[in-house]
């Protein structure tokens, strides 16, 4: 084997190792595939931290005691994973529709919610969560779900309610979770046995 070829192979191996190290450390590796869209560990952890923060604040305000145990944390992760999957499927549907009126309805709903007294109170409860994250994780998914629901009911006469559509879409979607804690049962995220 020529010396130049061997050097190229060694450089390629070093590059691949460095690339995988960067991906692993930055959390940019996939933890789920939802109908062709990747969910990265980094985005899941970010959203999970906000959901966890919300539950902690809610329990403080309501003076509830929640065991700060691993099982509860996994349940929050499971619920967060379910939300992320639903949001991904709704985003895909809205992207496929590419309907300007529906996109405007999402923006209008978010702007309206930002001025709603209950939403302002919730935003104050979640001090420490940036406004951008608050909109992206709390307001935007609900606005998109509502806009898709209105579109389905208006454009497709006799269409089922959004929850039925979501249930049917989740069953039909190709969803793969790369985790030793969570799994997909065809309708929702579940904890793997032994987790």
pLDDT at 65: 60
What domains can you pick out in the chain, each with its CATH number? 30-191 (1.10.4030)
Q: Give pLDDT tens digits for 4-30.
A: 788 888 888 988 888 777 766 766 788
Burial of 181 (0-12, 13-18, 19+ CB in 10 A): middle
Q: Give pLDDT tens digits for 143-156.
A: 999 999 988 887 76
pTM higher than 0.85 for the full model? no
The DSSP result for 58-111, as a single string, is: HHHHTT-----SHHHHHHHHHHHHHHHHHHHHHHHHHHHH--HHHHHHHHHHHH
The residue to which tokens 């509860």 are assigned: 72
Contacts 24+ apart (CB under 8 A), 152-161: none
Q: Give pLDDT tens digits for 81-122.
A: 999 999 999 999 999 988 899 999 999 999 998 888 877 777
């Amino acid at each position: 084997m020529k010396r130049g070829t061997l050097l190229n192979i060694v450089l390629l191996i070093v590059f691949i190792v460095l690339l995988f190290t960067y991906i692993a450390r930055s959390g940019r590796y996939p933890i789920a595939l939802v109908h062709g869209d990747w969910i990265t560990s980094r985005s899941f952890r970010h959203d999970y931290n906000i959901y966890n923060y919300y539950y902690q604040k809610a329990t403080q305000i309501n003076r509830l005691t929640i065991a700060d145990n691993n099982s509860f944390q996994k349940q929050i992760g499971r619920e967060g994973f379910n939300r992320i999957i639903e949001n991904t499927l709704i985003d895909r549907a809205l992207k496929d529709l590419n309907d300007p009126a529906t996109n405007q309805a999402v923006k209008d709903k978010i702007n309206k919610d930002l001025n709603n007294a209950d939403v302002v109170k919730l935003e104050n409860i979640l001090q420490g969560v940036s406004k951008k994250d608050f909109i992206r994780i709390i307001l935007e998914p609900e606005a998109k779900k509502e806009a898709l629901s209105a579109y389905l009911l208006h454009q497709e006469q006799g269409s089922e309610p959004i929850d039925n559509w979501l249930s049917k879409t989740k069953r039909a979607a190709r969803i793969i979770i790369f985790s030793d804690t969570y799994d997909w049962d065809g309708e929702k995220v579940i904890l793997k046995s032994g987790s």
